């Protein structure tokens, strides 16, 4: 009896492991477990849903500002560089929809495709993530750095992605049809390279699970900030803090430059910790120039209310 109980337990545990290992995405419970610091709204699948307002404000944040906030919070592995963006001057901001690709292995690939088709997926597996995209998502894929035969999209899929998200993609892999993709106004792609080949010997393994992009760890729902310098993946629970910090820095810099031009303070006074006199002057300057500032008036008023500097 005891022997049969042990055998049953082994089979039960193995079946749980198998179902988890080959699941197409995290369960809602697993998603909440791994993103437990996020306290806001979530998508139906459990992915954190950072507000559109924060995403729009994030576009003005510099990579350095975001990096500084994350480093101060103990997040040292959220940035990766070395990209070949489609456009150097088009910023990507949005919520990460994560995808894991692996070198093809027929026994696993066939199982995943068969399982997906039974569950309602349509077409080739590389189109499945695109079907899940919504506005302000960013398609983030670990394609193990494959360039030749690692082209995850061309201009057809690029048009579909932009129609759904109004953002772009970040691929640790390559893309094709650079000329066609460049004609999609507002779209950008951060990839490891460009190649005319088709996608072959690559299999989809998971959607919306934790992935690695170069030196960065990425969770579904992370806020993606991609600019010329590189890509930083901001944990959802820190996104608003990054935005607010950037807005305060922007206002303080503007005040400092203004007062330096007027000759009211010396560079040494502005570049070091401000005295109480300068801080009071800054608070008054904020109120006097409320309608002229680069940060929206309602957000400035909120910063004043919370005394965020």
Instruction: Give the pLDDT confidence score for residue 306 in this predicted structure.
Output: 64
Instruction: Give the pLDDT confidence score for residue 308 in this predicted structure.
Output: 57
Q: Are 162 and 134 in contact (CB under 8 A)?
A: no
pLDDT (tens place) for every residue of the chain, 309 residues total: 444 444 434 433 333 343 433 436 889 999 999 999 999 999 999 999 999 999 999 999 999 999 999 999 999 999 999 999 999 999 999 999 999 999 999 999 999 999 999 999 998 999 999 999 999 999 999 999 999 999 999 999 999 999 999 999 999 999 999 999 999 999 999 999 999 999 999 999 999 999 999 999 999 999 999 999 999 999 999 999 999 999 988 899 999 999 999 999 999 999 999 999 999 999 999 888 888 777 778 877 777 766 655
Instruction: Give the pLDDT confidence score for residue 261 in this predicted structure.
Output: 96
Axis crossing angle, helix 276-288 with helix 297-306, rounded to the nearest 10: 150
Instruction: Give the pLDDT confidence score for residue 291 in this predicted structure.
Output: 80
Domain boundaries for CATH 3.50.30.40 within the chain: 81-234
Q: Are 148 and 198 in contact (CB under 8 A)?
A: no
How far is residue 279's CA from residue 167's CA, in Å, rounded to a whole number?
A: 39
Q: In CATH, which of 3.40.605.10, 3.90.226.10, 3.50.30.40, 3.90.950.10 is domain 81-234?
A: 3.50.30.40
Q: How many other C-beta atoms lie within 10 A of the C-beta of residue 217?
A: 14
> Ramachandran region of residue 126, left (φ > 0), alpha (ψ -120 to 50) or beta?
alpha
Q: Are 215 and 77 in contact (CB under 8 A)?
A: yes
* C-alpha of 2 from chain center: 50
How far is residue 261's CA from residue 135's CA, in Å, rounded to a whole number?
A: 43
What's the pTM value of the predicted model, to 2 decimals? 0.85
């Amino acid at each position: 009896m005891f022997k049969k109980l042990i055998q049953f337990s082994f089979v039960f545990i193995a079946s749980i492991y198998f179902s988890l290992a080959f699941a197409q995405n995290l369960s809602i419970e697993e998603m909440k477990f791994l993103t437990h610091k996020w306290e806001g709204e979530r998508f139906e699948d459990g992915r954190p849903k950072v507000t559109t307002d924060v995403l729009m404000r994030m576009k003005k944040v510099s990579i350095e500002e975001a990096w500084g906030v994350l480093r101060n919070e103990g997040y040292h592995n959220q940035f990766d560089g070395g990209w070949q963006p489609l456009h150097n001057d088009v910023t990507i901001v949005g919520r990460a929809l994560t995808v894991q690709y692996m070198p093809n292995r027929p026994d696993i690939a066939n199982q995943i495709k068969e399982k997906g088709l039974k569950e309602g997926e349509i077409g080739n597996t590389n189109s499945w993530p695109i079907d899940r995209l919504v506005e302000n998502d960013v398609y983030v894929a670990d394609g193990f750095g494959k360039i030749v035969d690692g082209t995850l999209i061309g201009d057809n899929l690029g048009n579909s992605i932009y129609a759904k998200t109004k953002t772009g993609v970040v691929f640790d892999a390559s893309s094709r049809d650079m000329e066609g993709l460049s004609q999609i106004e507002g779209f950008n792609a951060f990839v490891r390279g460009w190649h005319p080949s088709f996608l072959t010997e690559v299999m989809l393994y998971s959607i919306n699970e934790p992935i690695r992009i170069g030196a960065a760890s990425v969770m579904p729902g992370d806020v993606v900030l991609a600019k010329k310098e590189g890509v930083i993946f901001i944990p959802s629970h820190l996104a608003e803090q990054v935005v607010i910090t950037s807005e305060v820095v922007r206002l303080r810099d503007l005040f400092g430059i203004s007062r330096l031009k007027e000759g009211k303070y010396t560079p040494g006074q502005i570049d070091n910790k401000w005295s109480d006199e300068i801080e009071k002057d800054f608070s008054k300057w904020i109120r006097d120039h409320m309608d002229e500032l680069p940060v929206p008036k309602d957000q400035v008023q909120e910063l004043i209310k919370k005394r965020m500097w």
